[in-house]
Structure 1
Amino acid sequence: MSNGAGKFFGGVIVGTVIGAAVGILFAPRSGKETRQVLKRSAKDLPKLAEEVSANVQYQADRLTVQAQRTIDEALIRLQEAIATGQEASRKLQDELILSMANTSNNSSIEIDDIPVEDED
């Protein structure tokens, strides 16, 4: 799970709790009614936390799968690029060897072809 997602959902939980508490405290109810509502809210808090936790886990799993897929696709593209580069390198090496062989065949000079000066 990315750190930003965890902070976001943590903020949602804290905001929900604070909002509920402020709403209850400023509601036009008697103290007894307010305490009963707070009691019910406190009982519902674990369920809410569990739901938020499940949602965070789901989002984290989804992001993990998506990240793994992206990494796998990038690895495949990298392997293809390396293979293409290796093939291009082999072709250039073959061309260079062929070029050197042609140059060497064309520039070979026979000893009989070299004029010799007489030293009299």
Structure 2
Amino acid sequence: MARAKIADDVGGPAVRAAVAGGAPRDTTATAVRYLLQLLAERAPGNTVEVRVPPFGAVQCIPGPRHTRGTPPNVVEMDAATWLGLASGSLTWEEGVASGAVHASGQRASLEGLVPLRY
């Protein structure tokens, strides 16, 4: 069953609160999921899996489809790093260089896709 889409009037305020800092866990969870939703809408596909445990994951970016087992292209980070990338306060290069972003696979990159508009 597909997860319900987070409406802009719910997701936008959650993102702003989470980026500002000190937001409750449920607000941060909503913000992370909303931004993952926006990423999947911006770059639809099934080539790269973006994971932000424990809040969510999406498959995105057009290309070869992954259907079974561990995806060959995975980008994983914590919520604070994802909020930074999606809001533009952290660049892709900074996230990877610092080790806050773990990217494995030939196509595992969000360069040019973040920051997101919310």
Q: Larger % of strand: which?
A: 2
Greater share of helix = 1
In our comparison, the structure showing a higher alpha carbon Rg is: 1
TM-score (norm 2): 0.19
Structure ranking higher on relative contact order (CA contacts 8 Å, 6+ apart): 1
* TM-score, normalisation: structure 1: 0.19
